[in-house]
Amino acid sequence: MKAFKLENEPKITTGFKTSDDYFDDFSAKVLQQINETKEVKVIPIYKRKNVLSMLAAAVVFIGLLIPIVNNYNNTSKELDEATLETYLSYQSNLNQYDLIKELDTKDIDKLNKSVALEQETLEDILSSNPNIENLISE
């Protein structure tokens, strides 16, 4: 492979040229332009139609977003009874003794208050179920 030397190759001109005395008074020209104060036209933001339409669109967007955010924050984190019952019924390795073991005395008191069987209801259940011995032993 042929050795490449950068110094020996012909140079390519950039195409940009400045006059010889351009940089002599360059700083004076820049300072003169800085010192000149130009009157800036101020356009109030409320007079622009584009800004007003964007503002109206933002208000509508926020108005539509409020019910969604409100509904998202109000969703309950608690399980309803049907979901819990379905979950427990499909757990094949879960039996009644596992459930009893997890109950507190406060939970048992709540169950005693909420379960109020009448005498007729109890008689109907016992008369319609052929496995009375299993019910009594449990």
The percentage of residues in the chain with a pLDDT greater than 90, rounded to a whole number, is 5
Give 7-55 pLDDT, tens digit per residue. Answer: 777 777 777 888 888 888 888 888 888 877 677 787 776 666 677 788 8
Q: What is the pLDDT of residue 48?
A: 65
Question: For residues 65 and 71, is the Cβ–Cβ distance under 8 A?
Answer: no
Report pTM: 0.25
Give 81-126 pLDDT, tens digit per residue. Answer: 788 888 877 877 877 788 788 888 888 888 777 666 778 887 887 7
> What type of residue sits at position 121?
T
Question: For residues 88 and 94, is the Cβ–Cβ distance under 8 A?
Answer: yes
Domain parsing of the chain, residue ranges: 103-127
* Mean pLDDT of the region 127-132: 76
